[in-house]
Structure 1
């Protein structure tokens, strides 16, 4: 059962990784002058929302991702047509500030009439027949259309996603994965500052964790103990040597010499056979070991973060390559349930491991979103590249169909992976 702390850390990890990704889209879209209608974390029903400036910020029920919805990114239906009766509210300067499409008789301080002509993209004007008299009205560039209790801000053509250059649109799309990579690098920097780097002058190893109900716990070993030797044999900085010496005892009691503070203690421990995930059994005492560390310099921190980012990205790309080109195995994939379970396990190991895991999840999200799969950022970048080559945009309706099919396939895969995750948990 996950503790409240583990649950909080897990939710916080999801929130940070997704928020940083969507903030990348949001920030660069705003810089390009694109109207961002909604900044959402999660999908499904809204749990919380507030509006700031032009954007509605929402927290939604299903923690499966998020989105920054930009005006004109997808085909938008214009709900107002000539011949339609509407109500408008004017600002002090005389421009239309609100356009009401329903409950017209209940609106106060409005002008009601029939639309003769309307342009809410280029000219931002409309002609309204009010009691047989035509009113020529300018529409405010930030006017709201109100229908069924919801407001939709009008989007002049120069505020729409598709009106911007290919370069600006590509940057707004690529910025999401880019921010995930930046976040991962920063988290690696934080991790090495929290955990330190191995001390080259040390001749021992450190107990980093104790397994509950283990021989080490029963014997009185504690986190932070410095292991100097086992049965008189010095272990030095070799973590593997500790495992070898314990295994060589063949189940007999071993004496571990440890330093705790200023004390030197000889603690007898009897290893026991422990079943591994692959079904094998190994003699263990139930401790997690790590190197003795020292504070990392700024240069060492950046070097570690660079190496960690490179090795983490390489490992994820290699796993994807094997999954696609060698053998597809659904057991190699983890959905929300599997990710939640593993995140809970990592969170219980301490904040430093949680930082490291969050960095890896952020890299994974960035790389995954750049895959050329319909609906993902990678696919959208490919469409933009095609547009740049052919020098004219692809039909938005056709592109929308491709993304819809991709969404449906990913959704089906997610269901299958989630089902497999649940079976794996039950069987284990």
Structure 2
């Protein structure tokens, strides 16, 4: 039976997920800017027309926009998307110009820009550290307990008691490592390194494929080896060790994100799996209906991806700014305003095209195009 969280719960969950993540991202920029003496003109959650706001004693306008799909901090003198000095900036009084973003050395500007993604990644580390402390971690060793009949593992000659040490050249420590690696690689041929009776050995196999369906009607195509563990082991993590586990889990998620992106680029994974705000809202509602722990876990996953995406060297994103600052640091002077302007125009066009594509993907995953085709037919 397919369960639906409902429209209102979905909207609420989406706000609870996106709102705090956008806030802490922009707060990272804001606090780093204040640290270096840059005045902020505006701090906005959401885009478009202001629906509520106030001005603090420093002159910063804190506001909510009607379109809750992001946010921004506008620093003094930040008069164009590329944050390039212009005639209006040059005309400012010297004392006022010193408080502007463009007046700061390149290393300070880089820190201010990088602070947003850094805070997102730090938030994820802390959330995952909390899960490690309160719920423990799956410490089941990557030892074969049972082989499923007619599975990839059986065809490769693996046996109960074998300890898997590497898959596709990637070191495997726990059963969870093995499951995560194989889930992302259905139908792929890989090398398996293992130890049998203390002696190293290796074989190759083609990862099996299974399709699963959750309680919300979502289907997932994932890879499986056909291996079961002998005895699951969960271990509580001391508080002082939890941040390290949170950092390691964040690294694993980032590596999985890079793996998935590489598979899409090389055609091994369908671009239909790319999703946008509508899909995030749908998943948020589903996870919220499962309880607060599931929603908080989702917040950590999206926070990691938000930090990662913003670090990509694409103009209009934080990573694009950092790319230009790196060029400026090497050349000892910024790129010309004309080059920056055209780069940011291209980046904006690419982001808008991607947003349109993922929105169409989202609508397709909801069955809109099939329904329209049925009506037309």
> Residue by residue, what CA displacement relative to the aligned partner does 1:336-389 show, whole Å, maximum 9, x if unpaired?
101111121122111111111111100101110111111111111111111111
TM-fit CA distance, 1:46: 1.4
TM-fit CA distance, 1:390: 1.0
- The 3 A distance-change label for structure 1 pair 350 and 195 is farther
Q: Contact between 2:312 and 2:319, CA under 8 Å: does it hold in 1?
A: yes
TM-fit CA distance, 1:319: 1.5
How many angstroms apart in 2 are the aligned matches of 1:387 and 1:330? 35
**Between Structure 1 and Structure 2, whose CA radius of gyration is higher?**
1
Show the counterpart of 1:23: 27
TM-fit CA distance, 1:325: 4.2
How many angstroms apart in 1 are the aligned matches of 2:121 and 2:103? 28
How many angstroms apart in 2 are the aligned matches of 1:350 and 1:379? 37
- The 3 A distance-change label for structure 1 pair 297 and 378 is same
> Residue by residue, what CA displacement relative to the aligned partner does 1:76-130 show, whole Å, maximum 9, x if unpaired?
87789xxxxxxxxxxxxxxxxxxxxxxxxxxxxxxxxxxxxx95332xxxxxxxx
- The 3 A distance-change label for structure 1 pair 327 and 121 is farther
- The 3 A distance-change label for structure 1 pair 79 and 385 is closer
Q: Contact between 2:260 and 2:269, CA under 8 Å: does it hold in 1?
A: no
Q: 1:120 aligns with which of 72, 92, 103?
A: 92
**Correspondences of 1:21-420 after superposition (within 5 Å):** 21-52=25-56, 53-73=58-78, 74=80, 119-122=91-94, 156-197=96-137, 277=219, 296-326=237-267, 329-420=270-361
How many angstroms apart in 1 are the aligned matches of 2:218 and 2:55? 51
- The 3 A distance-change label for structure 1 pair 9 and 277 is closer
Show the counterpart of 1:128: none
Higher relative CO (Cα under 8 Å, sequence separation at least 6) belongs to 2
TM-fit CA distance, 1:326: 4.4
> Residue by residue, what CA displacement relative to the aligned partner does 1:163-215 show, whole Å, maximum 9, x if unpaired?
11010000001111100110001111222344344699xxxxxxxxxxxxxxx
TM-fit CA distance, 1:322: 2.3
Q: Contact between 1:198 and 1:294, CA under 8 Å: does it hold in 2?
A: yes
> Residue by residue, what CA displacement relative to the aligned partner does 1:239-295 show, whole Å, maximum 9, x if unpaired?
9xxxxxxxxxxxxxxxxxxxxxxxxxxxxxxxxxx9872699xxxxxxxxxx79675
TM-fit CA distance, 1:304: 3.0
- The 3 A distance-change label for structure 1 pair 326 and 300 is same
Counterpart of 2:366 in 1: which secondary structure?
helix
How many angstroms apart in 1 are the aligned matches of 2:311 and 2:300? 17
- Structure ranking higher in helix proportion: 2
Q: Contact between 1:195 and 1:352, CA under 8 Å: does it hold in 2?
A: no
How many angstroms apart in 1 are the aligned matches of 2:120 and 2:67? 21
- The 3 A distance-change label for structure 1 pair 381 and 77 is closer
How many angstroms apart in 1 are the aligned matches of 2:135 and 2:9? 20
Show the counterpart of 2:5: 2
Unaligned runs of 5+ in 2: 141-174, 177-214, 223-231, 372-377
> Residue by residue, what CA displacement relative to the aligned partner does 1:2-59 show, whole Å, maximum 9, x if unpaired?
3555543331111111111111111111111112111111112212111112211111
Give the alignment's TM-score, normalised by structure 2: 0.66
- The 3 A distance-change label for structure 1 pair 397 and 121 is farther
Counterpart of 2:102 in 1: which secondary structure?
helix
Mean alpha-carbon deviation: is it higher for 411-420 or for 292-301? 292-301
**Alignment: residue pair count:** 278
- Structure ranking higher in strand proportion: 1
